[in-house]
Each structure stands twice: as C-alpha cells, then as structure tokens.
C-alpha cells in the first residue's frame, strides 16, 4: 500500500541527541508532516499523552499485537519494546499527508528494506559528554535507564553511515536549518516529483 509518490521521512538518533526537539520544530513549520504514533511498553513520562506521543500498552497487549501481525516493524530498545503499526502508517498516508517515522537504528534498518524510497536522516550529538548532560538535564531517566541509554548510544552511533544524511545537533538553530535543508532537498528528488516539461515551446 506504500506508493513511491508517498513522502516518507525516517529519523533516528541516539537517545538525548535532540531528535524530538528537532522533529517538533520541523512539524511546526511544515504541518503537512504527520507523525506515525508508535506503540510502546515503556512507562509514560510526565507531559506525554497516550495516543499522541505513543500508544502505551502492557507487555501482554504488545504480545497480542505482535501475534496479530500488527507491526510494520518493531524492536526491543533500551528496556522496552516499540513498534510502528500498519494502521498508524495508513492513517497518515491515506489522509494525503507526509509521513514522519521516529525509529531507532533497528527500525531504520528494517524500514530501509521495506520502504527503500523513504528518506533516512540520522541526528548525532556533538559529543558523548554532551549527550549525557542532555539526558541528565531532561530528568526523564532513572539512573538505570540512563546508563542503558548511554551504553546503547555508542552502538547506535556505528549505524550513522547507513543513513542518507547525518546532522550534528550542536547549536540547535544550526541543526534545525540543516534538517530543513535536507527535508526540502528530499522533495526535489526525482522519485518523489517528476515535473512535466514541455520541450516543444
């Protein structure tokens, strides 16, 4: 059901790199972009809204969804499970909007196989020290989950070269301008829009 003309933007990053912050800015400027709401077994953070940020489910429910072939892709990440459902993808594409998928590197790899015409962007922090300080300041992680996220970040960074674009999020405004440039350039790729030219006149 996913067609070549569908515009699909896949963004990955190690946790704390600033992906959610950058995505929020992009979606504010380009409201045609719509986020596919993933399903997760992670606990809800203060400020998050069930059904908007994620569909928060129990492990048992996730098992049931898996058994029902509900996911386009899913992965074990940090200490929880996360999945992109076909329903959430369809909901966006059938509404004629552009699809934004926020997935980890395992999801990125799976989607590369399933949707080769999508555009793949990887966000990196300027350093591991800065990554740690951003995660600590965000105050969303326990000491245990913080340690897991930092350990996984080193592995995830190795996947950066598999992406079409890598953006360093040091200065937020500069990183945002880079992301916007990539987004606009992807719209000009021939697989998305082939203009009809009249060569006779």
Q: List contacts with ligand 5GP (CB under 6 A).
A: 12, 15, 38, 42, 73, 75, 77, 82-84, 102-104, 106-107
Q: State the nearest-atom distance from the C-beta of 189 to ligand 5GP, in Å.
A: 23
Q: State the nearest-atom distance from the C-beta of 52 to ligand 5GP, in Å.
A: 13
106 contact, one of ligand ADP, ligand 5GP, none, CB 5-8 Å limit per kind: ligand 5GP
Between residues 18 and 83, which has the closer beta carbon with respect to ligand ADP? Answer: 18
85 contact, one of ligand ADP, ligand 5GP, none, CB 5-8 Å limit per kind: none
- Of 147, 73, 58, which is closest to residue 103 (Cα–Cα)? 73
User: In the set 90, 112, 138, 192, which binds ligand ADP (CB under 6 A)?
Assistant: 138
99 contact, one of ligand 5GP, ligand ADP, none, CB 5-8 Å limit per kind: none
Q: With CB under 6 A as the rule, give the number of residues binding ligand ADP.
A: 14
Site string for ligand ADP, 163-192 (x = CB under 6 A): ------x--x--x-----------------
Secondary structure in 3-state letters for the chain? CCCCCCCEEEEECCCCCCHHHHHHHHHHHCCCEEECCCEECCCCCCCCCECCCEEECCHHHHHHHHHCCCEEEEEEECCEEEEEEHHHHHHHHHCCCEEEEECCHHHHHHHHHHCCCCEEEEEECCCHHHHHHHHHHHCCCCHHHHHHHHHHHHHHHCCHHHCCEEEECCCHHHHHHHHHHHHHHHHCCCCCCCCCCCCCC
List interacting residues with ligand ADP (CB under 6 A). Answer: 13, 15-21, 134, 137-138, 169, 172, 175
């Amino acid at each position: 059901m996913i067609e070549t003309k569908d515009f699909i933007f896949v963004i990955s990053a190690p946790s704390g790199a600033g992906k959610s912050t950058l995505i929020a800015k992009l979606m504010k400027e380009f409201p045609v972009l719509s986020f596919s709401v993933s399903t997760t077994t992670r606990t809800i953070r203060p400020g998050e809204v069930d059904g908007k940020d994620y569909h928060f489910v129990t492990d048992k429910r996730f098992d049931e969804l898996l058994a029902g072939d509900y996911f386009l892709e899913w992965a074990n990440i940090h200490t929880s499970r996360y999945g992109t459902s076909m329903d959430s993808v369809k909901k966006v594409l059938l509404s004629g909007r552009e699809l934004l998928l926020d997935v980890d590197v395992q999801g990125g790899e799976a989607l590369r196989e399933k949707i080769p015409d999508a555009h793949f962007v990887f966000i990196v922090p300027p350093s591991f020290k800065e990554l740690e300080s951003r995660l600590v300041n965000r105050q969303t992680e326990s000491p245990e989950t913080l340690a897991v996220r930092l350990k996984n970040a080193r592995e995830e960074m190795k996947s950066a070269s598999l992406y079409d674009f890598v953006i360093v999020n040091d200065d937020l405004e500069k990183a945002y301008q880079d992301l916007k440039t990539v987004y606009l350039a992807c719209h000009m790729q021939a697989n998305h829009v082939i203009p009809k030219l009249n060569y006779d006149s």
